[in-house]
């Protein structure tokens, strides 16, 4: 077989992709670099009927792998991305350590903040507005996320029965 062209045509799980060889082998130690970085295709690399190299993985998620390889520094997942675990499995398969690190950092979550207090308004709501100082906020969410946002100001002793060990 001849060496790889500069632009490769791939069939990933039935989804066709066109990608530069430079992008595909961008991450050191990855399966993609090992497979496509040697100059010649391995003998066991299948080819589909159209002559595209076939990779038997999730074709829809492979676009995120390519987006990461194109710009690993600024790569972020789309808002509302729901297949983080499946993408993590793809990153493990392709041995993309940088993407695995990014996926570990970007853990979705939400924090609910509540308070108890009252506000008193003067006649017609216009005169002598008096606000009561809020001395306590109620926080609910994952402990790691709450600590990231609020730091050491959290007081876990206020509610010792907060459920699972990763909840606040």
> Which distant-in-sequence residues (6+ apart) come within 8 Å of 103 by Cβ?
84, 87, 88, 91
E strands along 22-154, which residues?
53-55, 112-115, 119-120, 130-131, 137-140
What CATH number was assigned to the domain covering residues 7-104?
Answer: 3.30.710.10
pLDDT in tens, the chain (168 residues): 457 888 999 999 999 999 999 999 999 999 999 999 887 778 888 999 999 999 999 999 999 999 999 999 999 888 778 898 999 999 999 999 999 999 888 666 777 777 766 655 556 555 555 566 666 667 767 676 677 777 777 766 655 555 555 554
Residues paired with 10 in a beta bridge? 17, 53
Look at the pTM and tell me if it is higher than 0.75. Answer: no
Query: In the chain, where are the structural domains located?
Result: 7-104, 108-167
Structure tokens at 139: 């926080």
């Amino acid at each position: 077989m001849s060496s790889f062209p500069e632009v490769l045509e791939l069939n990933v799980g039935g989804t066709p992709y066109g990608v530069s060889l430079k992008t595909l082998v961008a991450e050191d130690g990855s399966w993609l670099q090992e497979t496509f970085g040697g100059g010649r295709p391995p003998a066991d690399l299948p080819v589909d009927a159209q002559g595209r190299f076939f990779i038997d993985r999730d074709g829809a998620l492979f676009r995120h792998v390519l987006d990461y390889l194109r710009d690993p520094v600024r790569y972020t997942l789309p808002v509302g991305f729901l297949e983080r675990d499946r993408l993590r499995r793809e990153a493990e398969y392709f041995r993309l350590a940088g993407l695995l690190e990014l996926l570990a950092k970007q853990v979705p979550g939400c924090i609910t903040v509540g308070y108890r207090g009252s506000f008193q308004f003067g006649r017609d709501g216009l005169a002598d507005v008096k606000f009561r100082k809020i001395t306590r906020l109620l926080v609910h969410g994952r402990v790691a996320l709450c600590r990231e946002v609020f730091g050491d100001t959290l007081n876990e002793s206020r509610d010792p029965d907060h459920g699972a060990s990763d909840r606040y």
